[in-house]
Amino acid sequence: MHILTKKSRTWQQDLANVVTDPATLLTMLDLNPALYQEDIKARRLFPMRVPRSFIELMQKGNPQDPLLKQVLPLSQEFKQHPQFMLDPLQEHQTAIQGLLHKYESRVLLMLRTGCAVNCRYCFRRHFPYAENKLNQEALNEAIAYIRARPTINEVILSGGDPLMATDEHLEKLINTLISIPHLTRLRIHSRLPVVLPKRLTDTLAQHLTSSRLKTILVLHINHPQEISEALQQNLKQYQAQGITLLNQAVLLQGINNSSSTLIELSEKLFQAGLLPYYLHLLDPVQGAAHFNVSRQEALALMQIIRAKLPGFLVPKLVQELPEQASKTPVFA
Ligand SMILES: *Cc1c(COP(=O)(O)O)cnc(C)c1O
Ligand code: SF4
């Protein structure tokens, strides 16, 4: 057995070494766990999970750190709110396990269970991953479904987090997708590279660019502080290889609901080679009501950022409504 240096550890090893104990996280940040006793209990509702590379981006001694607030359990999560549901999008009802087909041209494959980080506001925090795991049989069914429908030209890999899958697994899947002639695009929605930049391996880039499919990587970054040097370095490689890079963010109370933060986010995303795509209103999931930003406030923020940013750096403000077939743009 040999001791691996920090640099040579693989992303899987870092993943096995995430921080799951809130008291440990608080101590690492020079915050006193004794002051958070009630809050820590909320981990029962949804486990805490934070990679160390994400913790390194947090400011020590700052209980209001915008990254910390996204991952730390809080007693407010116990508050029941009549409009906040267990399954706000009613995603459960699908014909094939792990496959969502809302739009004619694209399907969403929920590839893998779980995430590298558990975001407290996540609309999937009550999602029964174990029952919805896309096993080989369901995957075969999903592939047959796509193959039989020529109107589908894009497959979107989502999760949990699809990049929790290994490069080998993704390679196999991409090879299968290439064999479906009407597919032209592959899109991956992931937060993993943000919290663990080394997930952007050279091997993955090769798999993504060696196929005839145009590849789009949509990251999930909510705050400029999440854009680390390491992430920027790795994204540069991906961009240079022709992978389109986009970002989606969620508008979160006390984290990014200020025009200056949103402007800085767009500017920094562009510097890192990403274009802002969507800004989501929070999905009304139980336990996350304290993150909610009203529609009215969101629209006021959009008005300010639209006046200050070039059009291509203004994300589309959208909302997922269970009864609607698509994401609904939010207008005044
Ligand atoms: C969001 C979503 C998509 C992708 O929508 P775009 O507007 O193309 O980004 C596709 N399928 C499902 C089920 C979705 O929820
Ligand atoms: S990474 Fe995405 S899916 Fe996973 S917990 Fe965070 S918001 Fe939810």
Q: Could you please report the per-residue DSSP string of 258-306? A: SHHHHHHHHHHHHHTT-EEEEEEPPP-BTT-GGG---HHHHHHHHHHHH
Query: Which pTM value belongs to this model?
Result: 0.94
Q: Tally DSSP H helices, then E strands, for the chain.
A: 13, 9
Tokens of 78: 């116990």
| Full pLDDT tens readout for the chain, 332 residues | 455 555 579 999 999 999 999 999 999 999 999 999 999 999 999 999 999 999 999 999 999 999 999 999 999 999 988 888 877 666 544 578 889 898 999 999 988 668 999 999 998 787 766 566 678 888 999 999 999 999 999 999 998 899 999 999 999 999 999 999 999 999 999 999 999 999 999 999 999 999 999 999 999 999 999 999 999 999 999 999 999 999 999 999 999 999 999 999 999 999 999 999 999 999 989 999 999 999 999 999 999 999 999 999 999 999 987 767 678 899 87
Instruction: Report how far Cα 151 is from the mean position of its chain's Cα atoms.
Output: 27
Ligand 2 atom with the smallest distance to the CA of 220 is 2
3-state secondary structure of 189: strand
H or E element, residue 24: helix 22-28
Strand partners, 156: 108, 187
Residue with CA closest to ligand 1 atom 6: 327
Helix axis angle, 167-178 relative to 202-209, nearest 10°?
A: 0
Residues 6+ apart with CB under 8 A from 9: none
DSSP assigned state of 85: B
Residue with CA closest to ligand 2 atom 2: 191
Ligand 2 atom with the smallest distance to the CA of 160 is 3
